[in-house]
Amino acid sequence: MRLPIDPRFLDAGEAALVVEFGDTVDPVINDRVLALDAALRADPPAGTREFVPTYRSLMLHYDPLGIDRETLVAIVRRLMTGLAEWRGEGTIWTLPCCYDPALAEDLDEAAQILGLTRDDAVALHTKATYRVYMCGFTPGQIYLGGVPEQLKISRRVTPRPPHPAGAVSIGGGLGTVVPFVMPTGWYVIGQTPERLYAAERQDAFLIRAGDLVRFEPIDLSTFRDLAQRAGGGEIVARKLAA
C-alpha cells in the first residue's frame, strides 16, 4: 500500500525542517513518520545531521551551508512518491514493573479517580500492548499509545513532586516511562528496574520509536534484585523481534 503524499513542511528556525503528517495521535500517521525516517536514515542526504521522529511529524536537522531548504523538501517529496507502508524491524519488549505501594506512588489515587480497584488497574495495565510513538523530553523516555480506555486519565492540573527514575506513568490518555528523577503532571502507577538510557552502553538507548512494550508485574523483592543487576549493566527487560 502506498502512503498518501500529504505532508506539511514547517521551518523550525534556520537549520531544521518539520515534515508534519497530521494533528492527532494515530498509528497510521505515526507509520508515515517512521517510514520517512527509515528511508532518510538508509541514505542520509548530504548536509543533514539528525532525524527526530515524533507522534505526527519528523524533524530534519540540517546544515544550511551543506543543503538548502528547497533541495531538502524536494528530496522528501521524491521519497514520498515511492514510500511504501512502514515495515519496521520493531522489537516487542517486556518490561518488569513493580506496582507495590512503595513504588507505585499514585496508583491508588489514579484508581480512585477512574473508579477502579488497585488490582483492576494493575490487571488492565499489564494486559495491554503499547506502541512506542516517540522518544524524547529526557534521554530514553518513551511515550506510549494503546492505554486501555478504562485507564485513560487526564493529566494533573499542577505537577506533583519528583518521581523516581524508572517511573511508569499514565496521563492525558497516554503512557510513559521516564529514566530520570523529575517532577511530573502524570500519575506514577509503577516503576521498572530497567534503565532505558545508559550512557556507558554501546547503544545508550534501549527502546526505539515503533517498538511495542508490555509490562510484567513483579514484587518488591524481585524489583530490588533486578534493579541491582540493571545497575551492574545487565539488561533485565526481555525482547522478541516483531
Residue with cell 515495515: 87
**What residue type is assigned to position 73 of the chain?**
V
**What residue type is assigned to position 175 of the chain?**
G
Burial classification of residue 46, based on how many CB atoms lie within 10 Å of its CB (0-12 exposed, 13-18 middle, 19 or more buried) = exposed
**What residue type is assigned to position 116 of the chain?**
L
Would you say 188 and 104 are in contact if contact means Cβ atoms under 8 Å apart? Answer: yes
What is the pLDDT tens value at each position of the chain, 242 positions in all? Answer: 445 557 999 999 999 999 999 988 888 899 899 999 999 999 999 999 999 999 999 999 999 999 999 999 999 999 988 776 666 667 999 999 999 999 999 999 999 999 999 999 999 999 999 999 999 889 999 999 999 999 999 999 999 999 999 999 999 999 999 999 999 999 999 999 999 999 999 889 999 999 999 999 999 999 999 999 999 999 999 998 55
